[in-house]
């Protein structure tokens, strides 16, 4: 149950509310209790003043016998200050009761039994004994079923010290406080019940979109990756969460789509050479009386197609490792002009076969940090394309130069150029401007060369661009960040 955010939220909310309600109620209760007690104490002081004034007046009018004068003055004053909640006592010098209002007004005084038990209590005894000073005394006395506030004041009569004690019943006061306590308890319980139920429904309502999102997300799989989570309010937190999820699904969908296309294209590319291999093998096996030259020719075709297959598989392997970030790219100092010269040397036979003039300008020293083999592969791909797509007797220029911030490799040819509407797509995998031409014959590529070259440039924090292409030729340039010019060959 506590695994549910809704329940946890409700519990927390109710707990905090309970603490606040209890604190507020307790504070209010104690303030009310204290102020009511202060008011009672003040009233008792005023009552004692008034009683003593009446007492002194009655004493003056009383007969001359000292004992009976005090008694009758006290009784007269008690009659005048009679109240249901107050009991008056006049104690003599030896703390013996001289006059008392208990029992005297039995019809009016509500609980004489409680008063009697209060008078008999130890608390009362010690309260009256301690009253030696002239100061007024105050204390709460616990009796059988109720409590009393005891007030005492010393006074002089006929040259002797007497003690006036007023016992004020706190019954009514405690009844009010009890009512307040009960009211507060019910209010807290009811408040918690309401807040808990309301909080739970509120939490349920707030969490409903999350639950709906979860249920929806659970239904999304590889087959329906195009589905998106519902966004009720794009501006609130849950809406933003749904949007983030949807963006993630978008990326996943695109990545899945790329993978699907990649696999489909790769299978398609592998099918042609495999079909040729099988066809050639079948021909070789079926024809009787073939000469050694015939077999040699078949073997040459098999060899060429196998090489083509190996090249495609290697390229595919490179790209898949590049995609998963698992291609190990070494970091060494590479003099790019040396790599360019080396690549030019490697393709010179190819160029010569097509009677293409290959010019190399690799005089500037271009130092970059990176993977020598990969950089070589990038330049070879560009040179290979330049020779492949140039007509017989054409010209290919390759130059390596260094600027203050980068090393640049430029490859220019005099081929037919790339049609303007296809230029944006030449870096796509398996893209060929002229598939028919590329796939057939020895020059056929799988459309992976430029994708790999672009990845290599980017893996070295550089870029590969088609600078320009028209009917006079095509110009590719790779820009790789490097420490700049160390020295130039012309210096």
**Residues forming the site for ligand ADP (CB under 6 A):** 381, 385-386, 389, 413, 415, 418, 426, 431-434, 438, 445-451, 474
Nearer to ligand ADP (CB atom), residue 145 or residue 258: 258
CB of 259 to ligand ADP, least distance (A): 19
Helix (H, G, I), strand (E, B) or coil at 144: coil
Helix (H, G, I), strand (E, B) or coil at 294: helix
What contacts 279, CB < 8 A, 6 or more positions away? none
CB of 323 to ligand ADP, least distance (A): 16
Nearer to ligand ADP (CB atom), residue 39 or residue 425: 425
Task: State the first-to-last Cα distance of the chain, in angstroms, to the nearest integer.
Answer: 81
Nearer to ligand ADP (CB atom), residue 124 or residue 455: 455
Nearer to ligand ADP (CB atom), residue 125 or residue 472: 472
CA dist 356 and 384 (Å) reads 12
Q: What is the dihedral of CA 358, 363, 369, 371, to 10 degrees?
A: 30
Nearer to ligand ADP (CB atom), residue 114 or residue 390: 390
CB of 440 to ligand ADP, least distance (A): 12
CA dist 457 and 411 (Å) reads 14
Nearer to ligand ADP (CB atom), residue 184 or residue 427: 427
Tokens of 405: 């911030």
CB of 353 to ligand ADP, least distance (A): 17
CA dist 135 and 152 (Å) reads 8
What contacts 272, CB < 8 A, 6 or more positions away? 439
Nearer to ligand ADP (CB atom), residue 143 or residue 387: 387
Helix (H, G, I), strand (E, B) or coil at 118: helix
Nearer to ligand ADP (CB atom), residue 117 or residue 390: 390
Looking only at Cα atoms, what is the longest distance across the chain?
170
**Taking the mean position of all CA atoms in its chain, how far away is CA 251?**
22
CA distances to 124, 234, 368, 376, 377 from 337, in Å: 113, 54, 10, 11, 14
CB of 344 to ligand ADP, least distance (A): 15
CA dist 400 and 450 (Å) reads 19
**Taking the mean position of all CA atoms in its chain, how far away is CA 388?**
56
What contacts 423, CB < 8 A, 6 or more positions away? 466, 469
Helix (H, G, I), strand (E, B) or coil at 422: helix
Q: Where is 186: in which H helix or E strand? A: helix 171-219
CB of 372 to ligand ADP, least distance (A): 21
CB of 389 to ligand ADP, least distance (A): 3
Nearer to ligand ADP (CB atom), residue 184 or residue 431: 431
CA distances to 88, 89, 90, 167, 296 from 73, in Å: 13, 12, 11, 19, 152
CA torsion sign, 48 to 53 to 57 to 59? positive
CA dist 474 and 467 (Å) reads 8
CB of 432 to ligand ADP, least distance (A): 3
CB of 454 to ligand ADP, least distance (A): 9
CA dist 443 and 336 (Å) reads 27
Instruction: Return the bridge partners of 162, or none.
Output: 155
CB of 490 to ligand ADP, least distance (A): 28
- Tell me if 116 sits within 8 A of 110, measured CB to CB: no
What contacts 432, CB < 8 A, 6 or more positions away? 438, 439, 445, 447
Nearer to ligand ADP (CB atom), residue 336 or residue 418: 418
- Which parts of 289-355 fold into alpha helices (H)? 292-323, 336-353
Nearer to ligand ADP (CB atom), residue 1 or residue 436: 436
CB of 329 to ligand ADP, least distance (A): 21
CB of 407 to ligand ADP, least distance (A): 21
Nearer to ligand ADP (CB atom), residue 351 or residue 426: 426
> Which residue has the CB atom at the shortest distance from ligand ADP?
445
CB of 403 to ligand ADP, least distance (A): 24
Nearer to ligand ADP (CB atom), residue 204 or residue 348: 348
Rg, C-alpha atoms of the chain: 54
């Amino acid at each position: 149950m506590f695994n549910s955010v809704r329940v946890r939220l409700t519990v927390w909310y109710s707990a905090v509310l309970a603490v606040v309600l209890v604190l507020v109620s307790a504070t209010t209760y104690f303030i009310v209790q204290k102020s009511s007690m202060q008011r009672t104490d003040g009233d008792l002081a005023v009552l004692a003043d008034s009683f003593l004034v009446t007492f002194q007046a009655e004493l003056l009018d009383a007969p001359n016998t000292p004992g009976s004068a005090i008694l009758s003055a006290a009784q007269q004053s008690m009659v005048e200050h009679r109240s249901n909640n107050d009991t008056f006592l006049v104690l003599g010098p030896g703390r013996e009761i001289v006059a008392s209002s208990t029992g005297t007004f039995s019809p009016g005084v509500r609980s004489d039994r409680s008063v009697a038990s209060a008078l008999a209590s130890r608390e009362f005894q010690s309260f009256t004994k301690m009253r030696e000073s002239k100061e007024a005394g105050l204390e709460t006395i616990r009796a059988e079923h109720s409590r009393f506030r005891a007030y005492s004041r010393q006074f002089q009569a006929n040259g002797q010290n007497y003690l006036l004690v007023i016992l004020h019943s706190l019954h009514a006061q405690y009844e009010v406080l009890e009512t307040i306590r009960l009211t507060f308890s019910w209010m807290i319980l009811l408040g918690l019940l309401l807040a808990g139920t309301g909080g739970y429904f509120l939490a349920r309502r707030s969490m409903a979109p999350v639950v709906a999102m979860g249920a929806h997300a659970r239904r999304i799989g590889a087959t329906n990756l195009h589905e998106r989570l519902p966004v009720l309010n794009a501006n609130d937190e849950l809406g933003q969460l749904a949007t983030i999820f949807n963006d993630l699904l978008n990326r996943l969908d695109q990545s899945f789509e790329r993978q699907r296309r990649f696999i489909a294209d790769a299978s398609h590319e592998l099918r042609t050479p495999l079909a040729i291999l099988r066809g050639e093998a079948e021909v070789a096996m079926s024809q009787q009386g073939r000469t050694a030259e015939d077999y040699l020719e078949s073997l040459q075709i098999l060899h060429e197609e196998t090489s083509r297959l190996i090249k495609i598989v290697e390229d595919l392997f490179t790209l898949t490792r590049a995609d998963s970030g698992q291609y190990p790219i070494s970091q060494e100092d590479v003099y790019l002009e040396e790599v360019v010269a080396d690549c030019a040397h490697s393709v010179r036979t190819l160029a010569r076969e097509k009677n293409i003039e290959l010019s190399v300008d690799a005089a500037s020293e271009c130092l970059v940090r990176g993977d020598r083999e990969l950089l070589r592969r990038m330049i070879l791909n560009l040179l290979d394309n330049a020779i492949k797509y140039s007509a017989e007797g054409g010209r290919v220029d390759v130059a390596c130069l260094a600027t203050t911030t980068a090393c640049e490799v430029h490859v220019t040819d005099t081929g037919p150029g790339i049609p303007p509407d296809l230029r944006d797509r030449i870096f796509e995998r398996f893209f060929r401007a002229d598939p028919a031409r590329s796939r057939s014959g020895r020059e056929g590529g799988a459309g992976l060369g430029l994708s790999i070259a672009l990845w290599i440039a980017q893996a070295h924090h550089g870029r590969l661009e088609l600078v320009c292409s028209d009917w006079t030729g095509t110009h590719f340039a790779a820009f790789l960040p490097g420490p700049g010019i160390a020295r130039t060959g012309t210096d």
